[in-house]
Structure 1
Amino acid sequence: MADRSYIDWPFFEDRHRDLAAGLEAWCAAHLPVDHGDVDAACRGLVAALGDAGWLQYTGAEAGVRLDVRTLCLIRETLAQHDALADFAFAMQGLGMGAVTLFGDGPQRVWLEQTRAGAAIAGFALTEPGSGSDVAASSATAVRAGGGWVLNGEKTYISNGGIADVYVVIARTGEAPGARGLSAFLMPADTPGLEVVERIEVMAPHPLAHLRMTDLRLPGGALIGAPGAGFKQAMAVLDHFRPTVGAAALGMARRALDESLGRVRARQLFGAPMAELQMVQGHLADMALGIDASALLVYRAAWAKDMGAARITREAAMAKLHATETAQKVIDAAVQLFGGDGVRKGMAVESLYRDIRALRIYEGASDVQKIVIARSVLEGSP
C-alpha cells in the first residue's frame, strides 16, 4: 500500500481527505481495466467515472473556482491504479477547461455532459508545425455570415477520434502571434472535420491527427472574446499543469510500492534484497524524490486554490520536478526487478511506458526550465 501520510499535510482540508479515501476505495474495486481495445476502455472509463460522480470535479459552475488540490488528488490516486483511468479523467477537465473558465450559458451545456460522463472532450491545440510554440499556430478561423470558417490541422490530439466535442484554437488575426488566436467549441460531428490519422504511441492512448476543411461554426462557438485564445489556453494550463505532476507522483508512488514488495520478498545472496545497502540507497532516493515532488505539486495547487491569479512558476516547477523524478523512480524500480522489470504485463514495465509522455505533453521539460528561468531573471516571486 502506497504511503498516504502526506494527506495530513496542511495543504489539505478534511473534505480532501474524505475524497481521497473514497476514491481509493473506488479504484480498488474498479481498476485497472482491460486496455485491449483502448477506445472502448476510454469510453468505459469516462462512463464509469461519470456514474460515480468523479467527473464532476473536472469542471465547475459559472463563477465557482476549480479546486486544483482536488484535481491533483484525483489524478494522483487514479494514476497509481491505472494510467488510462487518469488520462480519461484528465482529458474531461483539460478538454473543457476553456469552457469552465470562460464559456457562456449555451456552451456550458456541453460541460455538463462531459462532467456527467455522457460526452467525451478533446483539446485541439497542437499542430504539425507548432507544439511547444503555441503562438505559431497556423490553423485559421475567418468570419463568414455571422459565423466562422475554420481551416487547418491539429495533431497529437488526445481523445482524437473518440471525442464528442473539442475546444480548438485557431488564428483569427486580431494581432500577430499569440494575440491573434481564439478558442472555439467544435462538436465532433461538424461537417469538414476529418480524422486524418490515428496515432499509436508506446503507452496506448486515443490520439489523432485532425484536419478542418472549410469547417463552419456558428458565431456562438467562439469562447470569450476574439484574440483571447492564447490567454485562455494558458489559464487552462495554469490550472491543469500541476495535475500532470500529480499524475506522475501517483505513478512514482506505485513504483516505490511495487519495489518495496519486491525487495522484501526477493532473496539475494542468502538474504532479502531489502538488507542490501545499495538497494536501500535506491529506496531512499525514490522516497526523497517523491516527497519533494509532492511538496511542489501541492504547493502549486494550494496557491491556486488560495486565489493566486497566476501560478506559472509554481506549476512549471511542480510539473518539471514531478515528471522527471517519476521517470527516475520508475527506472530504479525496473532495475530492482531485474529481468522481471522488462517483462510485459509487470506493473513497473507498464509504468515505464506510461511515464514517458508526461515529460512532453502540456509543456515539455525543457520548456518548463525556460519558464522557470525567465521567472527567476524577472525577479518574480
Structure 2
Amino acid sequence: MTAFSLEPAQLAWCAELRALAAERLHPLADKGEPGHVNRALVAELGSLGLLGRLFTSGALDLCLMRESLAYACTEAETALALQGLGAHPVHAYGTEAQRAHWLPRVTAGTAIAAFALSEPGAGSDAAALELRAEADASRGGRSSDPSQGGRSSDPSQGGRFADTPSLTVAPDGPARWRLTGEKCWISNAPEADFYTVFARTTPDAGARGVTAFLVPADRPGLTGRGLDMLSPHPIGALDFDAVPVTAGDVLGEVDRGFRVAMGTLNLFRPSVGAFAVGMAQAALDATLAHTAGRDAFGGKLRDLQAVSHQVAEMALRTEAARLMVHAAASAYDADAPDVPRRSAMAKLLATETAQYVVDTAVQLHGARALQRGHLLEHLYREVRAPRIYEGASEVQRGIIAKELYARQEAR
C-alpha cells in the first residue's frame, strides 16, 4: 500500500464506518446535550470496538476512522478523537499500573479522558505554561475524597452524571507535588474522569521543565467549569488548588513532559486533518446534490460555469488534503525522520481546506444552509475550531519553516 491509494479492504472498512456512524451513532448524537459529554455515544463507540482500535492501529487507520466518522457524524468522530488524545499518553508513556487501571475503561467507553495542555496565557506557546507542580513541604498527601473533587453530581453544573459509576483513585502514596494554577480550553472538561495534565516542575526552564501527570478528576482541590463555545463539543476550564500528585502519577519522566505532549500531537495532528477532510467531503457531496437538482436561470445550478468551477475547486482541494493526510500518517507509521513537518503540513492544509470547502458550500446553498439543523450550518460551526486546536495554523507554519531550515543547515 502506498500513500496514494487504499487497499480494497480499507475502502470497505471506511464504507462500513460511514454506515455505522449514520445508523447507530448519529441517533445517539442527536440525543446528546451540546456542551456536555455524551456518555451513551462514547459507550457505543466502545461496544463497536472503535475505541480499542485507538491503541492497536497505526496512524493511517486512525485517519481513516476519523475521516469516515466525520463524514456522517462529527459528534462521534470528536468523541472518539478526544478519548484517544487524552489516553494516548497513558498508553504510550504510562506505567503498567496506570495502563491497567484506565485503558480498559477508556476502550469500553466507561471512563472519559482529556488532554489538559492549554492555559489562559499559554495556548499556541505551549512551552510557556504556568501551572505549577510545587514540591509538597509536608510530603503528607491527603486521601482522595470524592466530596472534595472537581465535579458536581448535577449535570447542569457540568459535572459527572449522577448514574455514572465512581472511578475514584486515591493518590498512590504521599503527595510529592501539589498542582496550582489553571487550564483552559480543555475538551471534555470538566466532565472527564481523568486528565493528562502538563505542569511546570522546574521554573524558568521552558519546555525542559514540564512534567506530564495522570490526574483523576476527583482529586481534592481540582474544580472545573464548562465554557460556552461555538464548537458543540464540551470544552471547559480547570482550576488546581494544591492538587496532590505523586511519583506514581507521572507519565514518562519528570521534566520530560513536553516530549509526551509533542509525541501525542505528532500522532493526532494528521488525524485532525482527516477529521477536516471528512467534513469537507460531506460538504462537497451535499453541494453536488444541491447544484445538480436546483433550478436556476433556466437550467440547473450546475450548468453555470461559475458554479461548476467552484465545485471543481472544492473537489481538487479536498483530494489534495486527503493525500497529504495519508502521506503524513504513512510517514508516522514508517517512523520517518520528518514526521513533525509532515504532520504540521497535513493538519495545516486539511483544516484550511475544510474551512474553504464548507464556506463555499454554504455560499452555493444560499440562505437554507444557515438554518438551524441544516448539515452545512452544523459543519460551519464545527469546521472553525480545528484551525486553532492542537496547534493553530500559524504554529503549524512555524513548525514547517523550522524543520525546513534545520534540514537546509544540516546539508
Does residue 312 of structure 1 match 2:306?
Answer: no
1:77 maps onto 2:77 in alignment: no
Structure 1 residue 22, shift from structure 2 partner: 2.5
* % identical equivalent positions: 44
Q: Paired residue for 1:19?
A: 13
Which of residues 377, 385, 389 is equivalent to 1:361?
389
Q: In the alignment, which residue of structure 2 is the partner of 1:215?
A: 243
**SS at 2:237 equivalent:** strand
Matched, 1:271 2:299: yes
CA gap of 1:348–1:186, structure 2 versus 1, over 3 A, is same
C-alpha contact 1:59 1:96 (8 A) present in aligned 2: no
Is 1:283–2:317 an aligned residue pair? no
Matches within 5 A, 1:33-48: 33-34=29-30, 37-38=33-34, 42-48=38-44
1:162 to 191, 201, 204: 191
For the 8 Å contact 1:158–1:205, the answer to whether it is kept is: yes
Cα offset for 1:87?
Answer: 1.0
User: Aligned-pair distance for 1:104?
Assistant: 1.1
User: C-alpha distance in 2, partners of 1:312/1:162?
Assistant: 31
- Give the direction of change, closer, same or farther, for the CA distance of 1:202–1:75 in structure 2 (3 Å limit): same
Q: Which moved more, 1:31-40 or 1:81-90?
A: 31-40
Query: Following TM superposition, by how much is the alpha carbon of 1:179 offset from its aligned partner in structure 2, in angstroms?
Result: 0.2
Which residue, 227, 235, 240 being the options, matches 2:263?
235
TM-score calculated relative to the size of structure 1: 0.92
- 1:201 alignment partner, one of 229, 245, 252: 229
Is this contact kept in 2: 1:175–1:227, CA < 8 A? no
Report the counterpart of residue 115 of structure 2 in structure 1.
Answer: 123
Matches of 1:175 and 1:100, distance apart in 2: 29
Partner SS, residue 131 of structure 1:
coil
* 1:86 matched to 2:77: yes
- Contact between 1:113 and 1:119, CA under 8 Å: does it hold in 2? yes
Secondary structure at 1:126 match in 2: coil
CA distance in 2, matches of 1:216, 1:158: 22
Question: Is 1:303–1:311's contact at 8 Å kept on the other side of the alignment?
Answer: yes
Residue deviations 1:11-61, cap 9 Å, x none? 54555334323312211212422165136662121111001110012224x
Opposite residue 99 of structure 1, the aligned amino acid is V
CA distance in 2, matches of 1:39, 1:353: 13
Residue 208 of structure 2: aligned partner: 179
Provide the rounded CA distance (Å) in 1 between the counterparts of 2:7 and 2:188: 33
Report the 3-state secondary structure (helix = DSSP H, G, I; strand = E; otherwise coil) of the residue aligned with 1:183: strand
Q: Which residue of 2 aligns with 1:257?
A: 285
Deviations 1:274-326 (CA, angstroms, capped at 9, x unpaired) = 11111110111000000110111000001111122551100111011000011
What CA distance in whole angstroms lies between the structure 2 residues aligned with 1:200 and 1:374? 35
Output the CA distance in 2 between the equivalents of 1:378 and 1:120: 39
Q: CA–CA distance in 1 between the matches of 2:335 and 2:205?
A: 31
The SS at the match of 2:123 is coil
Unaligned runs of 5+ in 2: 140-173
Q: Verify the 8 A CA contact 2:21 2:76 in the aligned structure 1.
A: no
Letter in 2 for 1:293: A
Matched position secondary structure for 2:241: strand
Note if contact 1:323-1:359 (Cα within 8 Å) is conserved in structure 2.
yes
> For 1:210, what is the secondary structure of its paired residue?
strand
Distance in 1 of aligned mates of 2:210 and 2:298: 65
CA RMSD of aligned residues (A): 1.9
Check whether the contact 1:35–1:41 (CA below 8 A) recurs between aligned residues.
no
Q: CA deviation at 1:192?
A: 0.6
Structure 2 counterpart of 1:19, one-letter code = W
Q: Distance in 2 between matches of 1:26 and 1:223?
A: 34
What SS does the corresponding residue of 2:198 show, helix, strand or coil?
strand
Give the Cα–Cα distance (whole angstroms) in 2 for the partners of residues 170 and 15 of structure 1. 43
The answer to whether the 8 Å contact 1:140/1:152 transfers is yes
Instruction: Give the conservation status (yes or no) of the 8 Å contact 2:37–2:191.
Output: no
CA 1:368–1:39: 2 relative to 1, 3 Å: closer
Q: Secondary structure of 1:106's partner?
A: helix
Q: Which runs of 5+ in 1 are unaligned?
A: 1-6, 61-65
Q: Distance in 2 between matches of 1:74 and 1:194?
A: 33
Would you say how many aligned residue pairs link Structure 1 and Structure 2? Answer: 369
Q: Alpha-carbon deviation of 1:101? A: 1.3
In 2, Cα distance between equivalents of 1:354 and 1:240: 18
SS in 2 for 1:216: strand
1:107 matched to 2:98? The reply is yes
